[in-house]
Every structure is written in structure tokens, then in C-alpha cells.
Structure 1
Amino acid sequence: MIIGLDAKRAIANHTGLGNYSRFMVDIMATYQEGHRYRLFIPKKKNNSSYEKLLKHANVRSELPHSSTMKRFSSLWRSFFIKKDLLKQGVQLYHGLSNELPIGIHKTGIKSVVTIHDLIFLRYPEYYHSIDRKIYNFKFRYACQVANRIVAISECTKRDIMHFYNIPESKIDVVYQGCGAQYSVMVSDEVKKQVREKYALPDRFILNVGSIETRKNLMLALKALKNVPEEIHLVAVGRRTAYVDELLEYARLNNLENRFHLIHDLPHVDLPAVYQLAELFVYPSRFEGFGIPIIEAMHSQLPVIAATGSCLEEAGGEHSLYVNPDDVQGMSDAINRVISDEELREEMVSEGNIYLRRFNEDVLADQMNKVYSKCFLSEKSPSIVPEDIQTVPYTYGKLVADNR
């Protein structure tokens, strides 16, 4: 079967949706090699991680051909790509990042869309109004016209059913794994170099992810006051305005020397940082899944995360969970883990067993079964929203702005 995939994020993004897209293409090309995979990208960009995907004999890139479509590549991806899908003989198209081309349901090509989260609907205060409108249009449309929907967690599945009134029978949950590099133990020499390079403390708690309000790093920082002074907090991630709030709290509470921020950390150094840590904390208020938890567990770290979304799915029953507003609960959980060696060993060993469900071959087989389901019925996937026929031209312009 010839499978087309929306690979914009795979070539353009180095984290998040990009990681997911590259991971899925790689495992499908490796473990379901009977298919041919066509990666549709709006334009070429330098990305070594993407280039590795093209080493698979059954994978190749597809770009817009005409000068007009090259110039308006975002419009090509959202509206005019259908002609190229048909020319390439694509039988199934997978929107890896929450959206599908407008009118895909009229081509005869089966379609699958992966929905990562609907946080913009559950927590609208974290998003600009125009972004919410665009996301809502694209996500809702994709859910309604797709033959199958892939949710990256049971939590996301519930939100798709709740916000878009999509029947459960149309949604499959397929998790994401993480790169193999996190399961490889880094040498002591490399660890020493990384520790010196980033001035990492001897003992520290680690957090990885964009440092923004929703990620709720303040909970861990406040909990640090009730943790032994030799324990520091290291946060690795993209800087936002929230950082200033964290630094001000650290200054007012004499935690400046125990709170360390690292921005723009190269991926090659991240496994060593994980393995140098004593504990991983992920107090986010809401996530679609929580890949850093999987990375930490592969790095043989015990995990403490927040309740309220999907993080229990990522961490399993032997990780610890606290309410995202419970400072004392976070302090107690941290102190319990760092002081109880037997508990740490149990969390790590049981975590390794739990991680088997995220093995690459398992996930590739699950995704292939989703693809097969698309061909079980020739019925139209669903009713197309009435307002699709009257999409304003400004939507196309906004798409071109990469929103």
C-alpha cells in the first residue's frame, strides 16, 4: 500500500510534533516495511533527523511541483495537495499533526488523523483567541472527515469524544515512544563532561519541557523549600515569560543557588543530563501524553508527576502522582523518593516492565491495524460540517502564517 504522510512537522520541528512525526515514520518504515511511505513536505529544510528517515528504502519525500504551489506551500498543504496525492497513487493519507487537507474525503483516499491534545479548548486562557479559532476549525474538521482518528492517550480520546461529539468506535489510542538514545547508558567520562559543561550540581531533581505556565514548574520550585539543601532543581526547556516569575520566586525565597535553568540544550547532551539526575518531576497541569516521562523512565529515573490529565498513562502505577496545586504533597513525594533507596529501585524496575507497551514494534503493529480498519467499510466516514463550504479566504492566509 502507498501511504502518504503529512511530514511538515517532521522536517520543520525539532521537538514535540516533529519528534512524533519522525518517530512514527521511522517505526512504520522499519516494522511495516511492506508499505511505501511518501512524506509530503511544503519545502526543504536542513534537518539531519529528517534526513535519516530517507535512508529507508521504502520512504521518500514529495514536494509541491509547480512554481505557484512552491510559493504558496502552506496553501498547497492545506488545500491543493490532493491532486499530488492522487498522482502518486496514495491509497491512505495520515495527518500526523492534528489536521487533514480540506476536501480529502472527496478524493476516495482513506484518511487517518492523529490528535495530540485539545488543551486549547480545555484551557483556553493559555492561547490567543485567533489561534484557538484556527486550531478548533482544523482539528474539528479533521476529526469529522477522517476514516479513523488516532488519539495519543486515553485522556485525549475522552476529550475528542467530549468536545467534538465523535463516537468512541471511530477513535484508536496509539501511544508514542521515545528515541532509543535514552535507553543507552552514557559513559562516566561523557557524564563528567556534560556536568562540567552545564555546571550541574552534584544532586538534583530534573524537569524537561517548555518552561511555560501550564507546565507548572512553580510547584516543584515551591516544594524545593521543604527538601534538603543539597538537592537542587534543574529545568531544561524553552524559555517563556513564565521564567521571570520563577526567578523572582527563587530570589525572594533564597533558592537562587539551588534553581538552574538550561535553554537550547542540544539533544545529544540530554540523555546524560537525565542519567545524572536523581529524580524526575513533571508537575504539568495538563498534557496530551507526556513524552519526557517516558524518556526519564528509559533513563532509569523514578518519576513524580501531576494528577489531572494523562500523566498516569505515561508513568504507570509505580510512579508517584500529586495534585498540581499541592506543594506539601510534592515535597513529601520528593523526600520519600530521595530517602528510600528500596522505593527508588522498585519504581525503576517496575517502570521498565511498564515501558514494554511503548516498544517500537508494538506501536507500529497498532498503527498498522488502524490503517487496515480504514478499508473495512466503504461508507463515508462522517457528516462534513456545514460551515466547511463557506471557509473564509482568510483561513488560507492564516495557514500561510504557520499557525
Structure 2
Amino acid sequence: MNIGFDAKRAFQNRTGLGNYSRTLIRSLAEIYPQHQYFLFAPKTKPLFRPPAHMPVILPGKTHHRLLKSVWRSRWMVSDLQQQQIDVFHGLSAELPFGVHRIPVKTAVTMHDLIFERYPGQYNPIDVYTYRKKARYACKHAHRVVAISEQTKQDLMLFYGVPADRISVCYQACDPAFAVLHPQEVISAMLRQYGLPEKYFLYVGSVIERKNLLRIAEALHQLKGRLNVPLVVVGDGGKYKETVKSYLRQKGLAQQVIWLNETASFTFKDLPALFQGALALLYPSLFEGFGIPILEALWSRTPVITSQGSCFLETGGDAALYVDPLSPEAIAGAMESVSENGTFVEGMRERGWMHAQNFTIPKCAAAVMNVYENL
């Protein structure tokens, strides 16, 4: 088969959608080399270096190069025909408009419908745009790929997508997280970035839904009892300033280390940063999957996350689940993982075992099964 991907996020996005795209493209090319893969992208960036001999299709005509976003959302259709694509996979909740009029089988991955659940946390124009693209993709894709059962239920609830048109294909994470580092390597990394030997870890955008403010409130509750600092990997805007203001008011500003601000942190050090942490704190209000949880499980790092949403799917019996609206519950969980070594060892082992449900071969096989049955 000639299999095409919307590869914009693979080249341009450093976080969730980009990681999903890069991991899936690489794993399919490695495990199923009998197929030919094509990457369709408005432009390339060094962030992603595709496997050798994988064609990258860029806007060719002058007006396509001038209006790259229109090429991706509409004009790309002619390139799919020109390259004789058999299956086209929209990796980030959209397909080019008009693709249903050409003889190409299509799949679209839907990561979440958070903008439908929490529209007030988005710009109204963005909600309109996301909704228009998602509805079109869900209506016309020959198969809708949901990254969790939670997302499948949301697709049925908000868009009325029939259950028999949805395939749940869990995602894997970068295999670098499964490589365990010796303590001396972790300690050297911590010294490089001026980090303490003991710390909690937060990984993700600093936005309201991710709930960092309640972690800050939990730190305040623990003040004087458990003064372990929090390392934050991620950035934000207005909500981040709200969190910072709270920390200053409570005398906790020095207890939170904003790694993006204090060092030129690189992805290659993220697995070691996970492995050195007491626990990942991930009390998000809602997610489609929660990839940092999986990264932590592969890293044998304890996870404190939320009740509800998709979190039980991702964390299984390994995570410690709390009410994300309760700073007291978050603080109590932080104390548990900092004080009970036997309990933590059990979390590490269960986490590693649960992570085996999300291996690259299993996740690639699920997606290839979708292609083969279109």
C-alpha cells in the first residue's frame, strides 16, 4: 500500500501531537517495511528526521507555497491523487476538505474533544475552527481512530459517531523512556541543570485544565512538613502568571523550578528527569490519554493523577488517583510517595507491567489493522 500521513505536527510540534505523529510514523516504517509511506507537510523542520527513503511532499505550486495552510486543508487532495495514495491518515483530528470526493481510503486520529467539554478555556474562533475540522473528519473518514475509550465515548456523545466506525488504538511513547539510567547519570543531569536531588515533577502545558494551581495549593498545605521542590517542564501564559502570583503570596516562589526558564533543557534529558523524580504530579481535569503518565510508567516513576476521564486506562493499577479539585488529596498523595518506600516500589513494578500494554509493536499493529480493513 501507499500510505500517506498529514505530517505537519511531526515536523512542527514538540509536544503531544508531534510525539504521537513521530512515534507512529517511525514504528510503522520499521515494523511494516513492505508498504511505502509518504509525508505530506506544509514545511519541514529539523525537529523530525524521517526514515530514509520516505518521500516528503511539500506544496509545489507557487500559490500553494504562498498559502500553505490552504494547501494543507484543501489543495493537498490533488497531491494525494498524484502520488497514488491508497490510505491517507490524518494524525491530528483533521482531513483535507474534499478528500471524500477522491478514491482514497481515509483514517483520522481523534485525540480528544476537550474544546467541546471546556469551550470557555479556548478562543471562540479556535473552537469554531476545531469543531468544523473535527466534524468533517469524523463524518467522512472511512475509520475514526480514538486514542482511548474515553475519546471514543466523547465522539459518540458530542458528534454521534457510531461505535462501529471507531477503533480504539492506544498510543505508545518514545522508546527513550524505557531506557533506565544509572543513578550517576541521573545525578550528573541534575547537576547540569542545577536541580535538587529530591523533587516532584510536572510535565505539560501550564494551562487551567492541567491544574497546576492546585498543586501549588498542595505545596502550601505541606509547607513545614514536606518541603520537596517541584520541577515544572512546560510553559504557559495568563494561567502561569496566576500560579506564580499565588506562589509569591504564599512564600513558595523558590520551591517551584520553572525549567524552561532557568536552563536550555533538551528532550534527551527528559527520561532521566522522570527517573530521578519522587513522582509525576498529573492532576489534570481532563485528557484524551495523558501521555506523560505513560512516559512515567516506562520510566518506573510513581504517578499521582486524577480520578475519572481517561486516567485509569493509562495508569491502570499503578497510579495513585486523587480528586483533582482537592489540594488536600493531592498533598496526601505526595506525602504517601515520599514516605512509604515499600508502597512506592510496588507502584514502580506495577507501572512497568502496565506499560507493556502500550508497546510500540502493539500500537503500530492496531493502526496497521485499521489500514488493512478499510
Q: TM-score range by the shorter chain?
A: over 0.9
The corresponding residue for 1:134 is 129
Q: Is the 2:181–2:272 Cα contact (8 Å) retained in structure 1? A: yes
Q: How does 1:1-40 map to 2 (within 5 A)?
A: 1-40=1-40
- Runs of at least 5 residues in structure 2 that lack an aligned partner in the other structure: none
CA distance in 2: counterparts of 1:279 and 1:13, whole angstroms: 26
Q: Is the 2:187–2:197 Cα contact (8 Å) retained in structure 1? A: no
What's the offset of the Cα at 1:187?
4.2
The corresponding residue for 2:68 is 73
What's the offset of the Cα at 1:246?
1.4
The corresponding residue for 1:245 is 242
1:261 aligns with 2:258: yes
TM-score calculated relative to the size of structure 2: 0.95
CA distance in 1: counterparts of 2:83 and 2:138, whole angstroms: 24
1:124 aligns with 2:128: no
Q: 215, 229, 245: which one pairs with 2:210?
A: 215
Bigger shift: 71-80 or 130-139? Answer: 71-80
3-state secondary structure, aligned to 2:55:
strand
1:310 aligns with 2:314: no
Q: Is the 1:237–1:265 Cα contact (8 Å) retained in structure 2? A: no
CA distance in 2: counterparts of 1:81 and 1:222, whole angstroms: 48
Q: Is the 2:93–2:110 Cα contact (8 Å) retained in structure 1? A: yes
3-state secondary structure, aligned to 1:202:
coil
Residues 232-291 of structure 1, C-alpha deviations (whole Å, 9 max, x = no match): 222111232222211222222222232221116311221221122111110111111111
Residues 183-236 of structure 1, C-alpha deviations (whole Å, 9 max, x = no match): 112344442332123321231111111111111011222112343334222211
- Runs of at least 5 residues in structure 1 that lack an aligned partner in the other structure: 375-403
Output the amino acid matched with 2:302.
Answer: P
Q: Is the 1:54–1:60 Cα contact (8 Å) retained in structure 2? A: no
Q: How does 1:188-203 map to 2 (within 5 A)?
A: 188-203=183-198
1:372 aligns with 2:372: yes
Q: 74, 77, 85: which one pairs with 1:90?
A: 85
CA distance in 2: counterparts of 1:153 and 1:72, whole angstroms: 34
3-state secondary structure, aligned to 1:281:
strand
The corresponding residue for 1:380 is none
Q: Is the 1:43–1:70 Cα contact (8 Å) retained in structure 2? A: no
CA distance in 2: counterparts of 1:221 and 1:271, whole angstroms: 24
The corresponding residue for 1:394 is none
The corresponding residue for 2:341 is 341
Bigger shift: 224-233 or 265-274? Answer: 224-233
CA distance in 2: counterparts of 1:158 and 1:149, whole angstroms: 12
What RMSD over aligned residues (CA atoms) do the two structures have, in Å? 1.4
The corresponding residue for 1:282 is 282
The corresponding residue for 1:44 is 44
Would you say how many aligned residue pairs link Structure 1 and Structure 2? 369
CA distance in 2: counterparts of 1:43 and 1:144, whole angstroms: 28
3-state secondary structure, aligned to 2:46:
coil
Residues 73-113 of structure 1, C-alpha deviations (whole Å, 9 max, x = no match): 21111111121111111011100011001111110110000
Bigger shift: 217-226 or 108-117? Answer: 217-226
1:115 aligns with 2:123: no
Residues 275-324 of structure 1, C-alpha deviations (whole Å, 9 max, x = no match): 22111110111111111111111111111101231122111122111111
Q: Is the 2:94–2:133 Cα contact (8 Å) retained in structure 1? A: yes
3-state secondary structure, aligned to 1:64:
coil
Output the amino acid matched with 1:276.
Answer: G
CA distance in 2: counterparts of 1:358 and 1:240, whole angstroms: 33
The corresponding residue for 1:299 is 299
Q: How does 1:171-210 map to 2 (within 5 A)?
A: 171-210=166-205
What's the offset of the Cα at 1:5?
0.7
TM-score calculated relative to the size of structure 1: 0.88
Residues 368-392 of structure 1, C-alpha deviations (whole Å, 9 max, x = no match): 1111221xxxxxxxxxxxxxxxxxx
Bigger shift: 38-47 or 88-97? Answer: 38-47
Moved over 4 A (4+): none
CA distance in 1: counterparts of 2:88 and 2:373, whole angstroms: 13
Residues 109-131 of structure 1, C-alpha deviations (whole Å, 9 max, x = no match): 10000011111110011100100
Identity %: 40
